[in-house]
Amino acid sequence: MASTARSYLLLSLLATAQLIRAHEHHDELTEEEMSQSTDAILWLHIIVQALVWGVIFPVGMVLGITRSRWHVPLQSLGFLLTAGGYVLGHSHGGRQFLASAHGVFANIILVPIAAQLALGIYLKLHIHENSIRPYAVILHGVVGKAYPVIGWTQMLFGAIAYRGYCRDGNLPQCLAHYIMGGGFIAYAVIMAIILLVGEGWVRRSGRSPEWWDSWVIFLWGIVNTFTEHRGNDWSVKDMQHTILGVLWWAGGLLGILLARNNKRNVVPAIILILTGWAMSEHEQHLMISTKVHAMFGYTLMLAGLARIIEVICFPGTSKAEIVYDDNVSDHTLAEPSPRFPSAARYALADDSRAAASRAFRHLPPFLLVASGILFMSATDEELDYVHDNEMDHVTYILIMFRWSSSISFLIYTHIVFLIGLYPTTGRNAATKETRSNSIELTAPRSKWYSRVPNAPATPVERPQHVVGEDDEED
């Protein structure tokens, strides 16, 4: 164990030595300097950092949650590659860039990197077991779970810096598109976790999925209400965006109320549909921009419709759906709780319906990812460039939708891959066989989906330990 700690310390020293090598970004550059071609070193920087922050660190985060033995080696590789990528980003020739948020944030993220390294070394020493260590474990987990968000933000900053966008007067609309588009993708991640592998956790929490959805919408609506208007004069766009913020927090509040007692509801889906309709009719200064925003709105409306179908037609994914007395609750994902021990009864669902449910539950989050990418691709600067090159809106929408769909497929594939790692690695994989004797499953468990165990056809006392009980963490 001491040798492992020494190796970790050596790794941190090497990373620190690499990271101190840097040059200042430029505040002023000539047109010639900014128009030069991108050299191989810069391309290598982009590839390495995208690999580390987009793949290695997120995978390492999941392996850390499942206590996999591959967590430390993979994160160590990520730290080394990050240090190398940082140096490459400050060593390239050819095209030069103005000072940007990408360069500033590159220095800021050294703080969580250093914190994660220090906490990792400390935890490997296994000291202060009953005093400091428990808090260090929590902090280590919090910082680690922030890595995907940090990586996504920095990669967006990098793309913006590379294109030279979001400067001067273009900053407000640029922030609106990237923050809102990223928000829809984050919402998709939360929804995918809840719907794909979080069913057991949702049941144990005693909250329906829409309770969590509604909280996300409620909080996001509060942010939008107070951030979409700047200055003293109210434009039509300011009013539309602010009203949408009010719609979100008001609707989210209603969704939270209706989700009490584990009830499911369609309020979050209705909010998505209304937001999509508003965006589809959101007039812009260019016709091409109006059409692109309309396509984003249609995709968002489709996501809301898909969610309504999921809630109404596919309320549960396991073969045994739990049905409560009409005077107590609607259809729900929650198991019988001490609050309603006598009202619960079990009803067997058809196998084909359960399979259809698991398949259909991918549609709403995927459409949210697609709508987020579309919205991020519709900034004024991007569309002004297309307009200046005399490309019509049909051609651009087809190109953008194909590009956005490809990116959406890749992002959603990555999301599903990371979610699929959770029930199949580390302590979850190690205990899967030992739990299989607790209760019999009617179908084999897929490595991509951790099914909730089937319940008996007649009311019985809930067993103390069932398959999948610990497959998801609270």
Output the pLDDT for position 156: 92
C-alpha 94/C-alpha 116 separation (Å) is 34
Domain boundaries, the chain: 1-164, 168-474
| Residue 347 clears pLDDT 50, i.e. is over it | no
Sorting pLDDT into bands at 50, 70 and 90, what band is 401? low
Integer Cα distance of 323 and 333 in angstroms: 9
Residue 366 confidence (pLDDT) above 80: yes
Predicted structure pTM score: 0.76
- 217-243 mean pLDDT: 80
CA distance 18 to 374: 38
pLDDT(135) > 80: yes
Percent of the chain with pLDDT over 90: 34
Alpha carbons within 13 angstroms on the beta-carbon side of residue 337 total 14
The sign of the dihedral angle between the CA atoms of 203, 205, 207, 210 is negative
Report pLDDT digits (tens) over 421-468.
988 898 888 554 444 443 333 344 444 334 444 444 444 444 444 444
Report whether pLDDT(209) > 50.
yes
- Closest C-alpha among 187, 154, 99, 181 to residue 379: 181
Q: Retrieve residue 209's tokens.
A: 């999925």
Res. 349 pLDDT band, cuts 50 70 90: very low
The least confident of 28-37, 46-55, 61-70, 166-175 is 28-37
Of the candidates 125, 100, 148, the residue with the CA atom closest to the CA atom of residue 8? 125
What is the residue-averaged pLDDT of the chain?
Answer: 77
**Confidence bin at 35 (pLDDT 50/70/90):** low
More confident residue, 352 or 141: 141
Model confidence pLDDT, tens digit, residues 12-29: 545 554 444 444 455 566
pLDDT, tens digit, 9 for 90 and up, residues 285-338: 778 788 888 889 999 999 999 999 988 887 654 333 443 333 333 334 433 434
Going from the C-alpha of 262 to that of each of 22, 212, 320, 361, the distances in angstroms are: 54, 11, 17, 19
